[in-house]
């Protein structure tokens, strides 16, 4: 059974770049590895709905609990594919996983209510939905001003023409998401965790250096 390594963090911090780099480096070292990202836009019932939500195209408001269930359902719909990937590879790199749901949806409520929602999501996804726990989760920590510039460099997204989707446009939410990741790491929820600083002296570190640090924890 392959190991699950989750790459986590706020929007635009370099998760996709680090996930692909990690996978390529593992493959070059002779290990079988693959990247699986969530949400599965366009591939699951929930993923289609999430794309519309992030594009601001749903005709009704989405409560934090409703959004949490959508993201959890997206993973549940993809559970067999995840288990199959785990059975056929040494390492499956997850570009976002359950902790994203906890950090983002908990951030919409904040305080005790937000913390309760984080625990609720953890129980739903690892309990009722029986999704496997990662062997290791990496929190990629990058300040918002750098991440914002990187979001603007991103290639066209499948679900929106906008430069910033609904969550990325909400600066206060992005800051609370960072605070929640710090809480999740400190409380070791869905751990173990390692924090990797993606920037140094106000600039991004080279992707190769970030990947090398992640590899040193595996």
In the complex, the residues that contact ligand TYD under the rule CB under 6 A are 11, 38-39, 54, 71, 96, 100-101, 104-105, 157, 165, 167
Provide, rounded to whole angstroms, the least separation between the CB of residue 201 and ligand TYD: 25
Contact (Cβ atoms closer than 8 angstroms) between residue 115 and residue 66: no
Closer residue to ligand TYD in complex, CB, 143/212: 143
Q: How far is residue 73's CA from residue 26's CA, in Å, rounded to a whole number?
A: 30
- Phi and psi at 7, nearest 5°, equal -105, 115
Q: Which does 91 bind (CB under 5 to 8 A by kind): ligand ADP, ligand TYD, none?
A: none
Q: Kindly state the number of chain residues that form the binding site for ligand ADP, as judged by CB under 6 A.
A: 14
Using CB under 6 A, which of the segments 10-18, 44-52, 173-181, 187-195 binds ligand ADP? 10-18
Q: Which of residues 22-61 bind ligand ADP (CB under 6 A)?
A: none
Q: Which does 13 bind (CB under 5 to 8 A by kind): ligand ADP, ligand TYD, none?
A: ligand ADP
Handedness of CA 171, 156, 40, 136 (dihedral sign): negative
Q: Which does 199 bind (CB under 5 to 8 A by kind): ligand TYD, ligand ADP, none?
A: none
Q: Which of residues 149-188 bind ligand ADP (CB under 6 A)?
A: 150, 153-154
Rg (alpha carbons) of the chain, rounded to whole number: 16
Burial class (CB in 10 A: 0-12, 13-18, 19+), 61: exposed
Contact (Cβ atoms closer than 8 angstroms) between residue 82 and residue 132: yes
Provide, rounded to whole angstroms, the least separation between the CB of residue 197 and ligand TYD: 20
Residue 17 makes contact with ligand ADP by CB under 6 A: yes
Closest to 6 measured CA to CA, from 80, 88, 95:
95
- The alpha-helical segments, DSSP class H, found in 29-143 are 45-54, 64-77, 79-88, 98-109, 111-123
Q: Which does 124 bind (CB under 5 to 8 A by kind): ligand TYD, ligand ADP, none?
A: none
Q: How far is residue 69's CA from residue 74's CA, in Å, rounded to a whole number?
A: 8
Closer residue to ligand TYD in complex, CB, 32/63: 63
Closest to 198 measured CA to CA, from 176, 181, 180, 173:
181
Closer residue to ligand ADP in complex, CB, 3/213: 213
Give me the residues that bind ligand ADP (CB under 6 A), please: 11-17, 150, 153-154, 204-205, 207, 210
């Amino acid at each position: 059974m392959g190991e699950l390594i989750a790459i986590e963090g706020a929007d635009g911090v370099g998760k996709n770049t680090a996930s692909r780099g990690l996978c390529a480096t593992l493959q070059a070292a002779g290990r079988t590895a693959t990247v699986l990202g969530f949400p599965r836009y366009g591939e699951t019932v929930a993923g289609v709905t999430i794309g519309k939500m992030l594009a601001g195209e749903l005709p009704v408001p989405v409560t934090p609990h409703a959004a949490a269930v959508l993201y959890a359902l997206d993973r549940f719909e993809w559970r067999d594919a995840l288990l199959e990937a785990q059975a056929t590879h040494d390492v499956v790199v997850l570009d976002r996983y359950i902790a994203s749901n906890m950090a983002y949806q908990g951030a919409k409520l904040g305080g005790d209510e937000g913390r309760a929602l984080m625990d609720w999501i953890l129980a739903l996804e690892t309990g009722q939905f029986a999704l496997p726990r990662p062997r290791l989760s990496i929190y990629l920590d990058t300040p918002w001003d750098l991440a914002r510039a990187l979001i603007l460099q991103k290639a066209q997204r499948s679900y929106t023409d906008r430069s910033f989707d609904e969550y990325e446009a909400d600066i206060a939410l992005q800051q609370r998401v960072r605070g929640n990741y710090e809480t999740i790491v400190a409380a070791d929820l869905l751990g173990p965790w390692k924090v990797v600083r993606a920037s140094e002296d106000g600039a991004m570190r080279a992707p190769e250096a970030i990947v090398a640090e992640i590899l040193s924890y595996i």
